[in-house]
A = this chain, B = another copy of it.
Amino acid sequence: MNLLKDINHLLPVAGIKIATAAANIRYSDRTDLALIELAAGSTTSAVFTQNAFCAAPVLVAKQHLSQSNPRYLLINAGNANAGTGQAGLDAAVACCESVAAEMGCDTNQVLPFSTGVIGENLPVDKINNVVADLKIDLNPHHWHAAANAIMTTDTVPKGISCQVSIANQVVTITGIAKGVGMIRPDMATMLAYITTDAKIEKVLLDSCLEKTVAQSFNRITVDGDTSTNDACVLVATGQSKVIISELNRTEFQQALDKVCEALAKALVRDGEGATKLITINVTGAQNTNESDRVAYTVAHSPLVKTAFFASDPNWGRILAAVGRAGVKDLDINKLKIFLGDLCIVENGARSESYREELGQKVMKETEISIDIQLNRGQASSKIWTCDFSYDYVKINAEYRS
């Protein structure tokens, strides 16, 4: 398996073409619209936010996906078209109609996606004005441009390619993602598009996506806020002629998992104001509900997050967060907490071997792991999060995102 993380050299996927345009939806002097064309015969799976207030494009994309084999994914940045009621639904459909007319397909073969500020009407005309330009721009090599066009408060574009040999043939996977705030995905992240030239039936593709999302995009959190617009799309064009079935699924799934984990971690690393990527690994729980609760309670604690920002090995805050996670009959004397390889808590107190300067050294790294061993069962959870800085407040107080 070969992972390629250079955003400037993402691999084209046979059957996929991409275009971008500057529609001036909210930003000027940059692109803010991307169109992904899927070759006829592609299969498409998608998962969406579980937020009860899901945005208009989410509702329309779900409906279109249930009715057709998609040929186009239309993504705009700067406006989420969320909390916009019937007018929002009409706007999302109007954009699909415009693309369908230009490209010559059915309206329900276009899936719309929006990301940006909530509660403002989507300027449909600005999008329609550039649909013809999008058609001209379609090209298999425009991944980098698309990763840029879909950004909002992201500071860097995020994408990855992977090549894996299956049945002595090369399968390519390329994906892009965006989203660095209002990030606690619940079935999917803000926006992610992963494509492959393998041939995979819809039922199996759905299963592959569900499995990979559960271990990647659904395991990250920046601020605990689940977006109204989350979506993750997986497309299999089938153009490589490599057929993935239950028999050889494992190799494909492993490659897909690597791609999605890398994209998910890239989102957290670019989390609003983030300076550190923190991996939280909870083991020895009685069930995954328990290990998840501990992991997310630590990940969402503002006191833990600000201590990480300050590179302060304030292990008392981690301990207090574990203690309030609601684990029934937690025996604090059995629990151990590690910062990197350093044991910081055991026997209900600070580890006797712990030295402040050792903790300080781990905390100064930009990638830090916390291992929490509950020692009461076999279940475990791993999630990724980031620290909490002045810039998080700055970004969210000074800019309406």
Enumerate chain A interface residues (CB-CB to B < 8 A).
50-54, 80, 82-88, 117-119, 181-182, 184, 186, 223-228, 300-303, 306-307, 309-310, 312, 314-317, 319-324, 327, 330, 332, 345, 347-350, 388-390, 392-394, 396-398, 400
Contacts and interface: CB of A to CB of B under 8 A. Distances in A.
How many copies of this chain does one complex carry?
2
Max chain B Cβ within 10 angstroms of own Cβ: one of A226, A332, A389, A396: A396
8 contacts: A83-B349, A84-B350, A85-B348, A225-B301, A225-B303, A300-B300, A303-B396, A306-B392
Max chain B Cβ within 10 angstroms of own Cβ: one of A302, A330, A347: A302
B398 A182 contact: no
A271 to B, nearest CB: 11
B320 A53 contact: yes
A367 B358 CA distance: 44
B51 A324 contact: yes
Contacts of A307: 396-397
A389 B400 contact: no
A51 B388 contact: no
A350 B320 CA distance: 39
Contacts of A322: 52-53
A331 to B, nearest CB: 9
B119 A315 contact: yes
Nearest to A315: B119
Contacts of A118: 314, 316-317, 319-320
A397 B306 contact: yes
Given A52-B330, A324-B51, A347-B85, A397 B309 contact: yes
Nearest to A352: B85
Given A118-B317, A349-B85, A393 B396 contact: no
Contacts of A314: 118, 400
Contacts of A300: 224, 300
Contact of A83 (B80, B119, B303, B319): B319
Given A85-B347, A88-B349, A349-B85, A320 B397 contact: no
**A-B interface, 9 closest residue pairs, ranked by CB to CB distance from nearest:** A118-B316, A85-B349, A53-B323, A310-B397, A306-B396, A226-B324, A119-B316, A51-B323, A52-B323
A342 B320 CA distance: 39
Contact of A320 (B51, B301, B309): B51
Nearest to A312: B400
Given A225-B321, A227-B320, A320-B227, A181 B303 contact: yes
Given A117-B316, A119-B349, A225-B303, 15 more contacts: A52-B330, A83-B345, A86-B349, A118-B317, A118-B320, A182-B317, A184-B324, A223-B303, A224-B301, A225-B317, A300-B300, A303-B396, A307-B396, A309-B397, A390-B394
Given A82-B316, A224-B302, A52 B390 contact: no
B182 A303 contact: yes
Contacts of A321: 225
A319 B182 CA distance: 12
